[in-house]
Amino acid sequence: MDLETIMLIIGAVILIGFSGRMIYRWTRVPESLFLIIFGLILGPVTNFIDGSSLFELIPIVSAAALIAILIESGITFDISRLLGNVWFAVAFTLIIGVLTTLLVAGLLIFFLNWNPLYAMLLGLVSSGTTTVTAMALL
């Protein structure tokens, strides 16, 4: 793939991301949905980009995305709001974590006949909070 095509794709991703953010303000449709659709069109639908050629970039892109998410959430962080809601947040997190763990484990045990220990372990892993959901709650 030549340099012009790569720059065109990067520009299109930035434009779609920015436009998606503007659309999000009016419709509450997340901009990530537009980027996912664009990625599907470039990859599996049209085979314009071979997905296997991007595997070596995954660690770099994921680290950059995590840094951007954490910086954005740190800039908009309000400590007084956090201190006012800390007890509700702790209770909510514990309740949701327990319910998610039990739901996932129950489904795995009932439908797939999993070992209860493994089902609970996967339920615990699945109930964890990611930075994206934590930023949305803050």
Q: Is the dihedral of CA 18, 21, 27, 31 positive or negative?
A: positive
Give Dmax over CA atoms of the chain in angstroms.
Answer: 54
How far is it, in rounded angstroms, from Cα 128 to Cα 134? 10
pLDDT digits (tens, 9 = 90+) for 58-105: 888 888 988 988 898 888 888 888 788 888 878 888 898 899 999 999
Q: Are 101 and 125 in contact (CB under 8 A)?
A: no
In the chain, where the domains are located: 1-49, 54-138
Which pTM value belongs to this model? 0.50
pLDDT digits (tens, 9 = 90+) for 10-69: 899 999 999 998 998 888 888 889 989 998 998 889 988 887 877 888 888 888 988 988
Q: How confident is the model at residue 131 (pLDDT cuts 50, 70, 90)?
A: low
